């Protein structure tokens, strides 16, 4: 009896507030549909991303240094078991058209890590050819066959190129213009570009990429992947443990060569001034120990010694150790 009364009251309430009842029902249905959609599409997105990043061989880790990386660093990286290694050269430059900051990479082939996905045209085959970020088509209104110019920079051997292609890079996986930061111009990279590596006037590498040859089960968000990468990171840090001191010694020795030559010349000049003063003292039986000319020369030598001491201090100043990084979940670029 009580149940019949409750059902009757419920039907009456629904009838009297039919609009509210329908609205609440639709809101619940919409919430359920959104929840199911998000839960269902998430794994699909992750599978698609993992498949594309595997196809383009995106690096799992990268090694960078503020003083550049050499062939010795590449050799050390290859000592890590179970990884594919690729060294990269890149530099920042300003576009001549609007002074946009461009991250210019050196291109050798598309068989290694971080392979480009060509959207139109082809990859650079000659020294006067350039491939631009596909976003540059909209950003700078560039087209295939256009002449593309960069402003003068010490790290590029040529400024003018022919646009032969537009491409996407696994290093930049989103669709906005977040291409990282730079130390020139506006401080923000507008887009990337690839030219033949011999166009870059660099004697060091800017980064070394490492990729696991044996892929962990699951996608790049899985715990198994993070565990595998962290294990390799420990190996990398162990192998590069003493590299900071060795690299510092190399750079210090190179920088000290001209300083040591100047120091030798300065020491010789000091000796000559000292001998001249001794001769004057001997000739005057101690009544004179110097002359205005010798005093002025000694002052110049003292000032030169101060400059050399400052240069020596700068050469021996500590610098940061090489940094090992992993792929970041932040969209846009590798960290």
Q: What mean pLDDT is predicted for residues 182-192?
A: 92
Q: Of 158, 170, 169, which Cα lies nearest the Cα of 196? A: 158
- Are 193 and 149 a contacting pair, CB within 8 Å? no
CA distance 182 to 64: 15
pLDDT, one tens digit per residue, over 219-253 is: 787 889 999 999 999 999 999 999 988 888 888 88
pLDDT, one tens digit per residue, over 51-82 is: 888 889 999 999 998 889 999 999 999 999 99
How do strand 189-196 and strand 323-326 relate by DSSP bridges? unpaired
> Picking from 24-28, 94-98, 145-149, 190-194, which range would have the lowest pLDDT averaged per residue?
24-28
More confident residue, 202 or 66: 202
More confident residue, 18 or 151: 151
- Are 132 and 148 a contacting pair, CB within 8 Å? yes
pLDDT at 330: 32
Q: What is the pTM of this model?
A: 0.76
226's enclosing H/E stretch is helix 223-239
How do strand 189-196 and strand 101-107 relate by DSSP bridges? parallel
- Are 91 and 155 a contacting pair, CB within 8 Å? yes
* Mean pLDDT, rounded, of the chain: 87
Q: What mean pLDDT is predicted for residues 307-333?
A: 64
- List, as own/partner pairs, every contact residues 270-276 make where C-beta atoms lie below 8 angstroms and the sequence separation is at least 24, other chains included: 270/301, 273/297, 273/298, 273/301
- Are 208 and 63 a contacting pair, CB within 8 Å? yes
Q: Sorting pLDDT into bands at 50, 70 and 90, what band is 325?
A: low
pLDDT, one tens digit per residue, over 35-50 is: 877 777 777 777 777 8
pLDDT, one tens digit per residue, over 147-158 is: 999 999 999 999
What six digits make up the tokens of 74? 């590449």
């Amino acid at each position: 009896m009580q149940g019949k009364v409750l059902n009757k009251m419920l039907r009456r309430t629904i009838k009297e507030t039919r609009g509210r009842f329908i609205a609440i029902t639709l809101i619940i249905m919409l919430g359920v549909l959104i929840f199911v959609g998000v839960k269902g599409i998430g794994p699909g997105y992750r599978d698609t991303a993992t498949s594309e990043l595997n196809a383009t061989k995106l690096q799992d880790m990268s090694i960078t240094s503020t003083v550049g990386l050499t062939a010795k660093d590449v050799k050390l990286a290859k000592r890590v078991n179970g990884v594919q290694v690729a060294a990269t050269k890149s530099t920042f430059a300003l576009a001549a058209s609007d002074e946009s900051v461009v991250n210019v990479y050196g291109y050798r082939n598309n068989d290694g890590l971080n392979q480009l996905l060509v959207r139109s045209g082809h990859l650079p085959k000659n020294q006067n050819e350039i491939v631009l970020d596909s976003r540059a088509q909209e950003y700078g209104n560039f087209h295939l066959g256009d002449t593309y110019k960069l402003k003068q920079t010490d790290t590029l051997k040529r400024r003018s190129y022919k646009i032969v292609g537009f491409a996407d890079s696994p290093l930049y996986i989103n669709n906005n213009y977040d291409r990282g930061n730079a130390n020139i111009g506006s401080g923000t990279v507008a887009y990337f570009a690839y030219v033949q590596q011999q166009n870059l006037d660099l004697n060091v590498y800017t980064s070394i990429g490492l990729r696991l040859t044996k892929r962990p089960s699951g996608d790049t968000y899985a715990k198994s992947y993070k565990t595998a990468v962290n294990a390799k990171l420990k190996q990398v840090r162990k192998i590069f443990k003493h590299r900071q001191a060795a690299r510092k010694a190399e750079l210090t020795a190179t920088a000290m060569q001209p300083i040591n030559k100047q120091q030798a010349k300065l020491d010789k000049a000091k000796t000559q001034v000292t001998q001249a003063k001794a001769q004057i003292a001997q000739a005057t039986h101690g009544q004179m120990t110097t002359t205005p000319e010798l005093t002025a020369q000694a002052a110049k030598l003292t000032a030169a010694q101060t400059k050399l001491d400052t240069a020596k201090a700068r050469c021996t100043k500590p610098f940061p150790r090489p940094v090992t990084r992993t792929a970041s979940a932040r969209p846009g670029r590798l960290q």
